[in-house]
Amino acid sequence: MRHFYKDKVIWITGASSGIGEALALELARQEARLILSARRVEELERVAKQTGLPPLDIMVLPFDLGDTSNASALVAQVINKFGRIDILINNGGNSQRSEAMETSETLERQLMEVNYFSAVNITKAVLPYMKRQKSGHIVVVSSIAGKFGFYLRSSYSAAKHALHGYFESLRLETEKLGISTLMVCPGKVKTNVSLNAVTAAGNAHGKMDPSHETAISAEACAAIIIKSIYRNDEEVFIGGKELLAVKIKRFFPRWFGKIIRKQSPY
Ligand SMILES: NC(=O)c1ccc[n+]([C@@H]2O[C@H](COP(=O)([O-])OP(=O)(O)OC[C@H]3O[C@@H](n4cnc5c(N)ncnc54)[C@H](OP(=O)(O)O)[C@@H]3O)[C@@H](O)[C@H]2O)c1
């Protein structure tokens, strides 16, 4: 992997915290050139400073994943500065802690926008440049919630499932252009994801789920993603024993039905 990331132009969404922040710091150590996106400019600036990269090699590009109708203009800004995009990491996202029956249509659409349509829009705006380069890597941070539904996660899980349908199709269509697609499925990673998860009232949940307290670190998760991109994997699962649920659902669906009902939503 030595030198693989050197001078590669890598755009990370959700770079102000958690997995995205850890990716930014490790990729900077590996001498990549970075574009950092999320909503909170001051947090992005903090991460940018922490990378230690010179201004020539880093760009802070804040925007809201809830409205990516300006994706082409965002991509144009990146191309203006760096001239190319080697790797796009669609990592930004927002989880949910509300029962389906209590979740308004507005909130459902917002969760689909932030967790699904944003990745589609940004990727489609980047693809023409990757096609011209005859190379590129699209990384999509899904979840094990993209493999099975779970309590209080109806729209979040729907959005993550949708990512698989879309990006697995896109992979088949674009690999002949030299473009690779990696689906990342974390289980539990110790980040602010549960604190930031949206409730039925539209507020942040504000509590860390006990299952996240003891989960693997964002740094460990980022290291596995970085290795998977290098290995050109198509899909990677990251986490602890919760990952077993994916295999159990596939091979023993009736047993899965029994054990999933016994799990705490938190
Ligand atoms: N941690 C886990 O256990 C876990 C498990 C499975 C999947 N994931 C996925 O991993 C990805 C990263 O999450 P994380 O665990 O690192 O959580 P996190 O610490 O809450 O980070 C989420 C990131 O997404 C950004 N974001 C959220 N809503 C946004 C919006 N509307 N517009 C722009 N940026 C937005 C946040 O930045 P701002 O607030 O500054 O906008 C932040 O940088 C997400 O896609 C999540 O679904 C995480």
| pLDDT tens digits for range 20-53 | 999 999 999 999 999 999 999 999 999 999 999 9
| 57, 34 Cβ separation under 8 angstroms | yes
Q: 181 CA to middle of ligand 1, Å?
A: 20
The dihedral formed by the CA atoms of 39, 25, 8 and 45, expressed in degrees to the nearest 10: 40
Average pLDDT over residues 251-262: 96
Average pLDDT over residues 250-265: 96
pLDDT of residue 193: 96
Ligand 1 atom index nearest CA of 38? 34
Separation between Cα atoms, residue 266 and residue 261, nearest integer Å: 13
pLDDT at 131 over 80: yes
| Residue type at position 27 | L
Name residues whose C-beta falls within 8 Å of residue 150's C-beta, 6 or more positions apart in sequence: 157, 260, 263, 265
How many CB atoms within 10 Å of residue 181?
A: 23
Residues comprising the chain, all counted: 266
pLDDT for 228-243, tens place per residue?
A: 999 999 999 999 999 9
Exposure of 134 in the CB half-sphere (CA atoms within 13 A): 0
The pTM for the full model equals 0.98
Question: Which residue owns the Cα nearest ligand 1 atom 34?
Answer: 38
Name residues whose C-beta falls within 8 Å of residue 208's C-beta, 6 or more positions apart in sequence: 192, 194, 195
pLDDT of residue 11: 99
| 209, 160 Cβ separation under 8 angstroms | no
Please provide the average confidence, as pLDDT, over all residues in the chain.
97
pLDDT at 260 over 90: yes
Alpha helices by DSSP H, listed for the chain, are 18-29, 41-51, 71-82, 105-112, 118-133, 154-174, 193-196, 210-213, 218-230, 244-251, 253-261
pLDDT of residue 234: 98
pLDDT of residue 141: 98
pLDDT for 154-195, tens place per residue?
A: 999 999 999 999 999 999 999 999 999 999 999 999 999 999
pLDDT of residue 108: 98
pLDDT of residue 1: 80
Average pLDDT over residues 88-103: 98
Domain boundaries, the chain: 9-261
Q: What's the CATH architecture for 9-261?
A: 3-Layer(aba) Sandwich (3.40)
pLDDT for 184-221, tens place per residue?
A: 999 999 999 999 999 999 999 999 999 999 999 999 99
Ligand 1 binding pocket, CB closer than 6 Å: 14-20, 38-40, 43, 64-66, 91-95, 114, 141, 143, 186, 188-189, 191-193, 196, 212
Task: Lowest mean pLDDT of 4-8, 123-127, 262-266, name the range.
Answer: 262-266
pLDDT of residue 127: 98
pLDDT at 2 over 90: no
